[in-house]
């Protein structure tokens, strides 16, 4: 088994799947890192949830976030090697999840303050991180074009996480709070 560190990144550079060396503050690494942080935040939320269906939906999302990271890190890699990539079907699946959960919620007429039960609060935090990850993907796309599927998918992730938070609060009997501005 390999060690838990190599020391290869001590100079501020890291390698990608495609063997490309980039600075750790490169737009590519920011996008990969934000996606990884999002995945971790979802993992924290999942640890607080007791709804098995929602937990499964979130674990599927976590696996897709790994695919996004791998797709970004493998840009320019040997095309003969098979690799998993995000598709429009992944976006549709996420949209169906949003619609399924939203159908169980009252109509939203006001802004909602992030919070509620612990699981919902973590989902709101993950949603905010998803927005940052989306901004990082947009920045990367400005520097070197990436798949538009990745941009669309990440945009839907924040919507999905928002609906998940509302769904859990409703299921737990926690009323949403609205801003009083």
Q: What are phi and psi of 14, to 5 degrees?
A: -140, 160
Residue 81 is predicted with a pLDDT of 57
Residue 31 is predicted with a pLDDT of 95
Domain 22-73+86-171 has what CATH class? Answer: mainly alpha
Three-class secondary structure of residue 23 per DSSP: strand
Are 20 and 76 contacting, i.e. CB atoms less than 8 angstroms apart?
yes
Residue 7 is predicted with a pLDDT of 76
Q: Which residue, among 137, 133, 154, 155, has the nearest Cα to 146 in the 3D structure?
A: 137
Residue ranges in the chain assigned as alpha helix (H): 27-48, 52-73, 88-102, 118-143, 148-171
Residue 181 is predicted with a pLDDT of 84
Residue 26 is predicted with a pLDDT of 86
The stretches in the chain having pLDDT less than 70 are 1-2, 8, 15, 17-19, 76-82
How many Cα atoms sit within 13 Å of 168 on the Cβ side? 27
Q: Which residues of 117-137 are buried (b: 16+ CB within 10 A; e: fewer)?
A: bbbbbbbbbbbebbbebbebb
Q: Beta strand pairing status for 13-15 and 21-23?
A: antiparallel
Residue 78 is predicted with a pLDDT of 57
Q: Which residue, among 16, 70, 61, 13, has the nearest Cα to 41 in the 3D structure?
A: 61
Residue 87 is predicted with a pLDDT of 95
């Amino acid at each position: 088994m390999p060690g838990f560190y190599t020391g290869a990144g001590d100079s501020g550079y890291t390698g990608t799947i495609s063997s490309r060396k980039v600075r750790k503050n490169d737009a590519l690494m920011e996008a990969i890192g934000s996606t990884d942080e999002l995945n971790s935040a979802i993992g924290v939320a999942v640890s607080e949830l007791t709804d098995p269906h929602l937990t499964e939906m979130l674990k599927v999302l976590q696996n897709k976030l790994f695919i996004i990271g791998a797709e970004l890190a493998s840009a320019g890699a040997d095309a003969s090697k098979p690799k998993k990539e995000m598709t429009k079907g992944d976006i549709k699946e996420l949209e169906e999840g949003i619609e399924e959960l939203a159908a169980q919620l009252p109509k939203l007429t006001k802004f909602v303050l992030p919070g509620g039960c612990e699981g919902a609060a973590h989902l709101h935090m993950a949603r905010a991180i998803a927005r940052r990850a989306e901004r990082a993907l947009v920045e990367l796309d400005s520097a070197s074009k990436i798949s538009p599927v990745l941009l669309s998918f990440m945009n839907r992730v924040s919507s999905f996480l928002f609906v998940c938070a509302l769904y859990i609060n409703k299921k737990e009997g926690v009323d949403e709070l609205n801003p009083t501005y």
